[in-house]
Amino acid sequence: MTTTAVTVGMAEIHVTKGVGIFTCPGLGSCIGVCAIDPITNVAGCAKIMLPESFPDKQVDKPAKFANTGIPELIGMMERLGAERTRIAIAIAGGAQVFRFGSDCATSKHDIGSRNVKAVTDALNRYGLEPMANDVGGSNGRTITFTVETGIVTVRTAISTEKALANLRDLTGNEDV
């Protein structure tokens, strides 16, 4: 079986059944979401850009926003045979600038923190919670998700690749 390598671009969702390697580069305040149902081998990866869609504007790409991207990711995986309750998730990204002037860090300007909360909230609405996360701080990140092994790794421009989670290990063991 050939393993397909897919780069997940801004506001994109990719799903697969079987094998595949998803790479989500250039995560600043955006969130990379990796998901798998280890029983049916259905997996997906999304790059979420902003927390909420705009009420007065049609959504052209659901993965732009957490409130539309997470339902779309789950829906696409379910259509390939995934069982919602079995889906294991890891998220990374949500960085923010170092300091917000005189403003507080929880302000509207902090896209990264708001993205983390919005993605987590959207997952919770499906009864899901990230098994592992690497969020916040001021580093850009790249995540790689190997479907066959379930391993999610994270690297920054100044750090080597480190393991974040094994999404096939339902005990939650992150030793990969």
Which residue from 2, 55, 99, 171 is in contact with another protein, where contact means CB under 8 A? 99
How far does CA 53 lie from the centroid of its chain?
17
Edge-to-edge, what's the strand order for the sheet holding 141-146?
Answer: 5-7, 21-27, 141-146, 151-155, 162-166
Contact call for residue 52 and another protein (CB under 8 A):
yes
Look at the alpha carbons of 103, 108, 111, 113 in this order and tell me if their dihedral is positive or negative.
positive
Q: Binding of another protein at residue 11 (CB under 8 A)?
A: yes
From candidates 156, 168, 169, 174, binder to another protein by CB under 8 A? 156
Q: Which of 17, 157, 141 is nearest to 90 (CA)?
A: 141
The verdict on 64 binding another protein (CB under 8 A) reads yes
Is 45 tagged catalytic?
no
Per rule CB under 8 A, count of chain residues that contact another protein = 36
> Using CB under 8 A as the criterion, which residues of the chain lie in contact with another protein when the complex forms?
10-11, 25-30, 49-52, 54, 57, 64, 93, 95-103, 107-109, 111-112, 138-140, 156-158
